[in-house]
Structure 1
């Protein structure tokens, strides 16, 4: 009886191992906060005016069913330009916040990097979102076509 049980256990273990080995990779989970749009090529000529700089932005969207605090989260590009959320920045479930490149008054839905130069490259770049512990939450990349990308 013991040999039959051992044989059955080995057979089941082998079947399970074979099933796991042939299973495809797990689908990536939707991030809690997603980079949902990057407008990297502001309309008109790139004259570095504040209105042109602010037409360049990243939209983050909360995909959770509850509010999340973005305090100390960072948004960065390939060239290591870094925007850090300061203070309590509460993003409600399903809500979005826009991070504009130029200067302005921060609100709950619009934040301003305060840069006098463009951050996002029109010829291709990547945006990376990290939480307060430095863990990458989401990323979005684009090439040289168009003015914006939806991620």
Structure 2
């Protein structure tokens, strides 16, 4: 009886244009937007100059085949310092954008938090990227060694 059921299932699958496969381990989906680098320890002395603040940044990369609108998406650290993308901001397929801690003029590849203080802790921290609905899209954490991390 069991051989008959297996044979029936194989014929049915072939007739329907499908196949029978064994379930394998689940694969994690690649996030649409990934945190690809965090430069958390600005080079030189931490003197809070705008150039020093802007040497601290997070790089986001669009891994999808189409542009993604980041309107109202947020980037935050463990202490809940929050950067919010305001207005329409479309990140092209394969493109990256850098979110700098200090002040500057926003462009399609560089955005500015506008902070007068460092955001990312040199002794260890984490970056969290959430979409406009508040769903966690990606995160990246690091310890106390080095100046940057590739995520």
Q: TM-score, normalised by structure 2?
A: 0.85
- SS of the residue corresponding to residue 108 of structure 1 reads coil
| Count of paired positions | 136
The answer for the alignment partner of 1:105 in structure 2 is: 105
Residue 65, structure 1, aligned to residue 65, structure 2 = yes
Cα deviation, residue 30, structure 1: 1.2
Residue-by-residue CA offset, 1:74-131 (whole Å, 9 max, x unaligned): 0000000000000111100000000000001111110000000000000000000000
| Distance in 2 separating the partners of 1:27 and 1:44 | 41
Cα deviation, residue 8, structure 1: 4.8
Residue 115, structure 1, aligned to residue 115, structure 2 = yes
The answer for the alignment partner of 2:50 in structure 1 is: 50
Q: CA RMSD for the aligned pairs?
A: 1.6
- SS of the residue corresponding to residue 28 of structure 2 reads coil
| Distance in 1 separating the partners of 2:29 and 2:123 | 29
| Distance in 1 separating the partners of 2:68 and 2:94 | 10
The answer for the alignment partner of 2:149 in structure 1 is: 149
The answer for the alignment partner of 2:80 in structure 1 is: 80
Listed as ranges, the gaps of 5+ residues in structure 2 are 10-21
Cα deviation, residue 28, structure 1: 1.5
Residue-by-residue CA offset, 1:40-80 (whole Å, 9 max, x unaligned): 00000000000000000000000000000000000000000
Report which of the two has the higher share of helix: 1
| Distance in 1 separating the partners of 2:147 and 2:30 | 25
Q: TM-score, normalised by structure 1?
A: 0.85
Listed as ranges, the gaps of 5+ residues in structure 1 are 13-18
Cα deviation, residue 27, structure 1: 2.3
